[in-house]
Structure 1
Amino acid sequence: MSARKSAVPSPEAIARSQRQRLAAEEGVRAIADVERQGLEVRKNMARLRELRQAKEAADAAAAEAMPAPAPKKRARKSPK
């Protein structure tokens, strides 16, 4: 007797095939989500960097506009 594969797949083979197909689809969705989240994070980082640089520039301009503080006089030590 020779063992031949039947042309009709078994229910187990069909279930396995469906699980593999679903896993592949979920993998594609997961990769797309990760890429989308990464893009959002990079956009937010760029926005925050621009805000920080603008604040630093404003702080530097404000510091230049203020007069330099006068040097403090040294207090004399009192004899004991």
Structure 2
Amino acid sequence: MTNDDNHRAGGAAEGDGGKTEREAATKAVLDNMARLRALRLAREAAMPQAGPSSKTKRTKTASPTAKRGGKKAEDDKPRPLSEWLADQQSSGRRT
């Protein structure tokens, strides 16, 4: 027998012992998850319902073109490609 065969035979020789240990560990994990879920739900139910949390609240920031020093567009329409290419060429960018 090789080492692999011994390893496989060792698992089979344990029989139900290894299986019950795995089942017990799985049951313990599932019980813990259920307990934690119940605690979280109880905590959320006890908290007053407020508006959106600070995590989901977004603040308005400058546009990406303003951060790069580009011109800020007056309207929300995108610039035509020809204008963008002309701007890139005038700023010294080469492709």
Shorter-chain TM band:
0.3 to 0.5
Tell me the TM-score normalized by structure 2. 0.41
Higher alpha-carbon Rg: 1
Higher relative contact order (CA 8 A, sep 6+): 2
More helix by share: 1
TM-score by length of 1: 0.48
